[in-house]
Amino acid sequence: MEQGYLTLETGEVFEGQLIGADQDSIGEVVFNTSMTGYQEIITDPSYAGQIITFCYPIIGNYGINALDDESITPALAGVVIGDLCETPSHYQSIEKFSEKLKAAGVAGIAGVDTRLLVKSIRSRGTVKGYLGKTQQTNFPQSEKEPLWVEKVSIKKTEYYKNSGPHVVLIDFGHKKSILSALLAENCAVTLVPYNTSFEKIQALNPDGVLLSNGPGDPMDLKKWFPEIKKITQHYPTLGICLGHQLIALAHGAKTEKLSYGHRGGNHPVKELKTGKVKITAQNHSYVVMDHSIDEKVFDVTYRNVNDRSIEGLQHKQYPIQTVQFHPEAHPGPSDTAHILTEFVHQIASLGETHYAVK
């Protein structure tokens, strides 16, 4: 393997061996603390434009299978790992981790001191990085970030027939596991692009609407806030991750960027109604700001145990609920899978007189 470098905006340089696609890459360097699930992570559209650092020291040990991709085409900018395993052992493995990166056109670097890199991100905050064959003495000037949601959202509506309630899934960069979870609950699902208007959704006559996860700053989608607000005022709605942030913003709240975000499958979240703590899967940079929530409009339902940030909301008037974490949890624990199940039961009971004929 050829020697390569990850150069941070701060001037720090991390050496390693290049893997994956033979190309230079630039992106926001983030880290994920999950011990497993690297296949789902690198195919999660929420990582669009980012360089992922894996905290777990060995990556690739169980290979890549044909089942666990969360999207067809990975949208991330690059991968940074410690030890690369090129001899995977698992009965479902069909290719190596490095082969997956190369086939997907994703650059990577192995043999990096990831503990030191993560410590730097945690102390300085998230920064841009340049991954390539040479060190960067003059870091490329930062350009305006593209609208990542536009890059990962579907372009045409897709319909998945089923005999249960009809859910419109608005695709801001959805994970396949969210769609799979709805289908497993017997829902008929119409998957629509992120910029689908209220009128077009109304024409689909859904029983409920789910706003998916996705990449980037939620404020980049400001022009669609009025449409999102109308949708939530007319249909039972669940927002997941970016969807949570967008619903809050559409109803007058504000968001801010965390220093280094929440990414991993081990984030403790307290359910305020019961006092129980759930272990959750998360992947986000932005959070809904506490002081911006109108207490006459929303109840806070979940809080992060580590930093007290808002992890869930419930509207006082409309059947709207949101969660910052991933209840479908691929990869991650299934502590909060009941949220999706309860949402489906809710819309089934509200629409039981007509949904079966759709």
Active site positions, annotated = 241, 326, 328
Instruction: Give yes or no for a contact between 156 and 191, defined as CB atoms under 8 angstroms apart.
Output: no
- The span from the CA of 34 to the CA of 13, in Å, is 24
For residue 206, CA distances in Å to 13, 209, 349 come to 51, 7, 13
> What pairing do the DSSP bridges indicate for beta strands 208-211 and 166-171?
parallel
Asked if 79 and 48 touch (Cβ cutoff 8 Å), the reply is no
Cα 53 from chain centroid?
15
- The total of other beta-carbon atoms located within 10 Å of residue 355's CB is 21
Give the Cα separation of 227 and 89 in Å (integer): 48
CA dihedral 119, 120, 124, 130 (to 10 degrees): -140
